[in-house]
Amino acid sequence: MSRVILQVMIRGRVQGVGYRGWVESQATAYGLEGWVRNRRDGSVEALLAGAPTHVADMVALCRHGPPSSRVDNVTSETASVDELNLRRAGEAFSVLPTV
């Protein structure tokens, strides 16, 4: 089975609305690995790893977000295993501190 790793940046009203917890829940439901964190510029950054179709579906979900969010822009680019390793040891998907 092939695997893809994408770094995703989400901009809009995405902090203070439960976006990180929502990403964690959705990604876990899709069986993805990775992490999500707030950025000081007001955006949310996520790293998603897994089956290409599941990662693509998750990126599509990120374009809508949870009900209280407003997503203005989502960009993604290929990432490496090194970035994936930022997640907490023993966790498939982590919510990381703000950077």
- The residues carrying an active-site annotation are 20, 38
Residue 5, strand partner residues: 49
